[in-house]
Amino acid sequence: MSTQFGALCSLILLEHFGEIVQKVGNDLYKCQSKPLRLIPGSTKLPLQKVKEALRIMIQYDFVTFSMGQLPDRAEYTLLADKVVLLLRYPRYLLLMKTQYGDEAEMLIEEILRQGKDTASRVIIRAATRLKESLKVEKVCLVTLRDKFLVLVNKQFVMRCPYPSEEKDVPELTIKEKQLYLPPDINLKGLSDLEEGKPGNPGDEGICWRVNLDRFHQDFRDQIMVSAISRRLDDNAGELLRQLLKQMYLRTEPWVATSNPVPFTELREAVRKQSSYPLLAQYVDQYLKIMEEDSSGFVSKVGDSSGGQYSLNMKTAFIQLTWATIENIVMERFGSKAARIFRLVKAKKFVEQEQIQQIAMIPAKEAKLLTYKLLEENFLQMQELRKSLASNVPNKTFFLFYIDLNQVARMVLEMCCKALYNAMTRREYERSENRRMIEKQQRIELITLNMKEQGATSEQLAEIEEMLTPPEQALLEKVRIMINRLNEAELQLDETMFILQLYLSYQI
Amino acid sequence: MAGRGRGGGRGRGRASMSFNVEQLGFTAGEALPGPVLQPPPIYPPMENKPVPLQTGVEGEYMLALKRDFVEFLRESPAFITPTAAKADIERYSDRYQVALAKKSHGELKFDWARFPPELRPQTKITGKRKQQPAKSTEKQAKIIRKSVDIVGRLDELEKKEEQQSDTEGGGDEAEGKEDEEKEDGEEGVMEDMEDDPDEEMDEGTDYINNYFDNGENYLDEEDDNLDDGPIY
């Protein structure tokens, strides 16, 4: 929780929910938790607006509340991590689209848009939107409901906790077994509601929200599979995917090391898969390669039933983090610095003299690069005295080493900073060219209206010409720049995801 | 490090470091670089160009999703806007801005049981508020009584009129008319009160009305006559 992270958080709130929510969010970020009455004082906002902002943030699960020091007064806490996840929403939706289809994507998007909602309302809104986008008269509500049930079953959506008893500050709880209990939706009531008649779908009061952890689990698996595919080949990637499937049968998804999977079962699973004939033939050899690979994703833990293999999530993410940071050093300081960095990584603790000898870089350049890395905190220095007397300088060794945990945190911080900068720049570009963008929007609107009224192509061309060529060129330039910044934000988030996962495994 | 060295230095000139300078790669005769007295530049030059972003269909699709999501939230009631300070003068363009700012995506539905009571829209009724509704009901009762009275009085007057016309025939209508006028006057006031806002609105939105004067009535004599005075 740093100031940088807080700044990013506040900018995200501003972009999505406006100025007031941003101010309240900032205020809550600064102090751990706060009762309602104290917020207007420090934010200089009217109480009514503060209330509105808190309602919104509770609705989207960005703020939680609990009984405070004073009885019957709630204290509010901001969950900054969840706010930053707003940047990842497009990725969640893309995953849904590719794996479960358009309907699932629409359902998830509807829940994300509302924060939380009942199943029936989500289904109806998704149905209306599907009708608009597909331009069809009727959307099958049964399919949508079934999709929703699939999502519940796969634990992508879960029930919201509800207040157990009437208290001054409601205490939200939910039992473990109720979390993924499928909803009982009355289809008759649902279709009545969709046609605009009063109907009762029978799930009033049961709210659903998106289980973001489940998405992260899928992202993690994707990252691991693609890493292995890149390192070895697609067959190995597929093998890892099968291994992950087997793992989920007997292991909690977020443990550091999975329970062992017997070789025979794995081979059976691979055989059922017909799209990779080569893999079925050489399962044992692929396993052997993966096991011996320095990445350490898979390790052999026993010999019974043809060999027992387990997946090392923690090691995998340590390796991925190393790779990420090595690449960052490479891009920022050049390949020679990257060589020094890798050398220090391999030797754990190493002296300056040794670095220049082993890395085979001229003495002066090696020193320059090492100190630069030290200055930027990618390397750390450990002082080692042979004698405790301070006036014997010659007996002191300076050893360089890498504290991965610290470097990862620093890089995460850099990512936050970069995100912040990208978002600020994007807003700046937009506000600089606001008049132009608005003009373009107006012209588009007019063109659309004219088309509906059946205007001739000449008239349309005339309207088009209201934007002069230089204006159009400028607009195009701004559009490209904004898009690129947006894309950079999405990809920065990918790096952040790996680092965050690494840090979460360290705890 | 240099500062620490100086603090503990015993006046050995240049080599007032806590470590041997030669370790840093400076030979004995070489001059050390001078101290840095300026803050580093805000935008240091980039030595290496960043790698280009990965592009692809997926990226574009995610961009579109991101844009849609932000746009949706911006137009939804979740995007709280501050209550704008009232401008010093009312501007004609203000009316259209209000219309533009209207939210298109209905209300957010909250399940109030999940919120602390202080955030719910109607909290406990405080002393002041308790009194207000009572007052308003009194007022309403008064109004109802009034309206009942009016109806009663109208009936009375009607009967009176009938009696008059019955007794006096069509001869003395003036008196009856006077009475009527009185009534009209009273009713007129009430109507005025009701009509007032409407009239204002009409003035305001006059520009939108399709008003066209073809000029036929221009300098019409009858019209002129009408203007001279009200006709009863």
CA distances from A279 to A29, A261, A262, A266 (A): 51, 18, 17, 12
pLDDT of residue A485: 93
Question: Does A203 lie in the same domain as A109?
Answer: yes
Distance of residue B211 Cα from the nearest chain A Cα, in angstroms: 24
Q: Of the given ranges (A41-55, A259-273, B4-18, B72-86), which has the lowest mean pLDDT?
A: B4-18
The answer, yes or no, to whether residue B181 has pLDDT greater than 70, is no
User: CB of A61 within 8 A of CB of A76?
Assistant: no
Contacts of A169 in chain B (CB under 8 A): 116-117
Mutate to test the interface with A, among B20, B24, B27, B62 (most CBs of A within 10 A): B62
Rounded to two decimals, the ipTM of the complex is 0.86
Of residues A136, A138, A109, the one with CA closest to residue A122: A109
- If one counts every other C-beta atom within 10 angstroms of the C-beta of residue A439, the result is 15
Closest Cα in chain A to B17: A393
Distance of residue B21 Cα from the nearest chain A Cα, in angstroms: 10
Domain boundary among the residues A147, A179, A210 is at: A210
pLDDT of residue B9: 39
Question: Does A110 lie in the same domain as A202?
Answer: yes
- Indicate the residue type of A215: F
> Are the beta carbons of B18 and A352 separated by less than 8 Å?
no
Question: Does A203 lie in the same domain as A108?
Answer: yes
Question: Does A378 lie in the same domain as A336?
Answer: yes
CA A495 – CA A323 distance, rounded (Å): 11
Question: Does A494 lie in the same domain as A425?
Answer: yes
> Are the beta carbons of A113 and B76 separated by less than 8 Å?
yes
pLDDT of residue B192: 45
Give a yes or no: residue A367 inside a domain. yes
Contacts of A54 in chain B (CB under 8 A): 119
Please report where in the chains the tokens 């010093």 appear, as a residue: B88
User: What domain range includes position A16?
Assistant: 3-81
Structural tokens at position B20? 């041997």
> Are the beta carbons of B113 and A486 separated by less than 8 Å?
no
- Of residues B192 and A188, the one with the higher pLDDT is A188
The answer, yes or no, to whether residue B130 has pLDDT greater than 60, is no
> Are the beta carbons of B63 and A94 separated by less than 8 Å?
no
Give a yes or no: residue A90 inside a domain. no
Of residues A389, A472, A415, the one with CA closest to residue A88: A415
CA A27 – CA A192 distance, rounded (Å): 45
Give a yes or no: residue A89 inside a domain. no
Give a yes or no: residue A322 inside a domain. yes
pLDDT of residue A151: 92
> Are the beta carbons of A59 and B110 separated by less than 8 Å?
yes
Confidence tier at B15 by pLDDT (50, 70, 90): very low
Closest Cα in chain A to B55: A487
Q: Of the given ranges (A2-11, B49-58, B220-229), which has the lowest mean pLDDT?
A: B220-229
> Are the beta carbons of B18 and A332 separated by less than 8 Å?
no
- Of residues B173 and B60, the one with the higher pLDDT is B60
Domain boundary among the residues A311, A342, A373 is at: A311
Mutate to test the interface with A, among B60, B114, B124 (most CBs of A within 10 A): B114
B interface residues, A as partner, C-beta within 8 Å: 18-20, 23-25, 47-48, 50-51, 53-55, 58-59, 61-63, 65-67, 69-70, 72-74, 76, 78-83, 108-111, 113-119
> Are the beta carbons of A49 and B50 separated by less than 8 Å?
no
Closest CB to B70 among A15, A94, A334: A15
Which residues in A36-125 belong to E strands, given as ranges?
63-67, 74-78, 117-118
pLDDT of residue A321: 96
CA A263 – CA A307 distance, rounded (Å): 5
> Are the beta carbons of B63 and A58 separated by less than 8 Å?
no
Question: Does A229 lie in the same domain as A200?
Answer: no
> Are the beta carbons of B109 and A117 separated by less than 8 Å?
yes
Question: Does A186 lie in the same domain as A119?
Answer: yes
Domain holding A219: CATH number?
1.10.10.10
Question: Does A229 lie in the same domain as A284?
Answer: yes
Closest Cα in chain A to B110: A59
Give a yes or no: residue A86 inside a domain. no
> Are the beta carbons of A59 and B119 separated by less than 8 Å?
no
Of residues A113, A105, A154, the one with CA closest to residue A130: A105
The answer, yes or no, to whether residue B32 has pLDDT greater than 80, is no
Closest Cα in chain A to B22: A394
Which residues does chain A have with pLDDT short of 70?
A: 1, 166, 387-395
Distance of residue B73 Cα from the nearest chain A Cα, in angstroms: 6
CA A71 – CA A85 distance, rounded (Å): 33
The answer, yes or no, to whether residue B209 has pLDDT greater than 70, is no
Contacts of A94 in chain B (CB under 8 A): 58, 61-62, 65
Closest Cα in chain A to B106: A114
Domain boundary among the residues A191, A210, A229 is at: A210
Confidence tier at B173 by pLDDT (50, 70, 90): very low
Q: Of the given ranges (A489-493, B16-20, B32-36), which has the lowest mean pLDDT?
A: B16-20
- If one counts every other C-beta atom within 10 angstroms of the C-beta of residue A389, the result is 8
Closest CB to B20 among A54, A334, A393: A393
Confidence tier at B124 by pLDDT (50, 70, 90): very low
Closest Cα in chain B to A333: B48
Longest dimension (CA), chain A: 94
Please report where in the chains the tokens 């209990």 appear, as a residue: A181
> Are the beta carbons of B18 and A90 separated by less than 8 Å?
no
Contacts of B47 in chain A (CB under 8 A): 332-334
Structural tokens at position A247? 């793992």
Structural tokens at position A471? 């204006």
Distance of residue A163 Cα from the nearest chain B Cα, in angstroms: 6
The answer, yes or no, to whether residue B193 has pLDDT greater than 50, is no
pLDDT of residue A367: 92
Give a yes or no: residue A8 inside a domain. yes
Q: How many domains does chain A have?
A: 5
> Are the beta carbons of A19 and B82 separated by less than 8 Å?
yes
pLDDT of residue A464: 79
